[in-house]
Structures are given as C-alpha cells and as structure tokens.
C-alpha cells in the first residue's frame, strides 16, 4: 500500500504499475499525472471525500482497461476521453456532484460495460451511441438523468439496458434501439410518457 501524502511525481517511480487503488485518502484533492504509468490497467478510486480533479492525462491513457470511481463527493468532472483504446469497464458510483458525462472524442471500441449509479449526470450525450458501439451493458441506476441524446441503434452487441430509480427523465427517444437489437434484459422507470414498443 502506498501512503498518500501523494507526491505528484509518484508516476515517475512507478512505470511498471498495473493496478492503482486510492481508498479513503481524505486529503487528496487531485490525482497524480498518469502519463508516466504506461502499464496501468486498473484504476480504482473510492471514498476520497476531497477529490476534485482527476488528472487530464487519464483521458489519453493507452493501456487502462477498467476504471471504478465510487463515493467521491466533490468530484465534478471526468477528463475528456481523447484516446482510451483498451478501456473495457467504466463505472461511476455515488458521485452526485459529477454533473457531466465525459466528453468522448474518439472511438471506444473496447468499452463493453458502462455503469452510472447515483451520479449527478443529467444528459447522456449522443457520443455514447456514436463512439461506444461495442457496449454490452449499460446501467443507469438512481441517476439524475433528464435526457438521452441520440440513440443506441449502432450498439449491435447491447444485451442489457437498465435504467431504474430515476424520476427525472420525461421521455425516451422513440428510436432508442434498433429493431434488430439483441437485448436480453430491459429495465425502465415509470414515466409520464408511454414507453414506445
């Protein structure tokens, strides 16, 4: 376990690090630069109550496979995804100040699991349906989501879509799924609007 009176230069000492877990580091305001951690595959950040910023270098990390962020009360923004070609799992949980979904600027062909649980994100942008076309699971649970932009018609492998515990969304896009999609599980909230067939 690495003690976290975190030096911002810690990345220079850990070029072979594959997993980094930051848990209950209550004085941590921002993560270190991930640029020197070229082998990092798994990042887990939990209950860092003062964390406000994740270093932008994470958004262009080429080896990261999974990111779990949970219970970070002050985290407001996730870095722009410039190039994360190996990322398979992206999960945010109990980060209610996280208001915006990460901006995606390139294809995320490896992403198969996207989970937003108790976050403050209000809009799921069209970039999810455009750039994350190999998604298998999407879970939007107890979220503040008000709008889903675009649709998931290009997500040919989507098997599970869970959208529960929300009272904010007024309607779903009429053409959210392709008529030939391979969904096995579909969970939707009660809404004022009738659910389209």
Residues in the chain: 197
Q: What is the pLDDT of residue 178?
A: 87
Q: Identify the CA nearest to 136 among candidates 116, 118, 152, 117.
A: 152
How confident is the model over 155-171, as a mean pLDDT? 85
How confident is the model over 141-165, as a mean pLDDT? 90
DSSP string of 132-161, one letter each residue: -TT--EEEEES----EE-S-STT-TT--EE
The backbone torsions φ and ψ at residue 11, rounded to the nearest 5 degrees and listed phi first, read -60, -25
Q: 1 pLDDT exceeds 80? A: no
Give the separation between CA 169 and CA 125, rounded to whole angstroms: 14
Q: Identify the CA nearest to 87 among candidates 62, 104, 56.
A: 62
Q: 26 pLDDT exceeds 80? A: yes
pLDDT in tens, 62-101: 999 999 999 999 999 999 999 999 999 999 999 999 999 9
Cβ contacts of residue 3 below 8 Å, gap of 6+? none
Sorted by where each starts, the structural domains of the chain and their CATH numbers stand as 1-197 (3.80.10.10)
Task: Supply the pTM of this predicted model.
Answer: 0.88
pLDDT confidence bin for 56, thresholds 50/70/90 = very high
Contact in structure between 186 and 158 (CB atoms under 8 Å): no
């Amino acid at each position: 376990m690495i003690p976290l009176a975190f030096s911002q230069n810690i990345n220079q000492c850990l070029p072979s690090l594959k997993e980094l877990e930051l848990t209950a580091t209550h004085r941590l305001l921002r993560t270190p630069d991930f640029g020197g951690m070229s082998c990092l595959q798994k990042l887990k950040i939990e209950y860092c109550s003062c964390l406000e910023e994740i270093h932008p270098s994470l958004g262009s990390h080429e080896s990261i496979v999974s990111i779990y962020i949970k219970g970070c009360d002050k985290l407001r923004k996730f870095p722009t995804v410039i190039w994360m070609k190996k990322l398979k799992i992206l999960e945010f949980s109990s980060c209610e100040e996280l208001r915006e979904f990460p901006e995606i600027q390139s294809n995320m062909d490896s992403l198969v699991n996207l989970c937003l649980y108790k976050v403050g994100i209000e809009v799921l942008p069209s970039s999810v349906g455009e750039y994350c076309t190999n998604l298998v699971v999407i879970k939007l649970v107890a979220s503040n989501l008000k709008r889903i932009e675009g649709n998931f018609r290009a997500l040919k492998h989507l098997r599970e879509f869970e959208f529960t515990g929300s009272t904010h969304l007024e309607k779903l896009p009429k053409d959210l799924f392709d008529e030939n999609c391979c969904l096995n599980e579909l969970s939707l909230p009660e809404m004022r609007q009738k659910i389209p067939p």
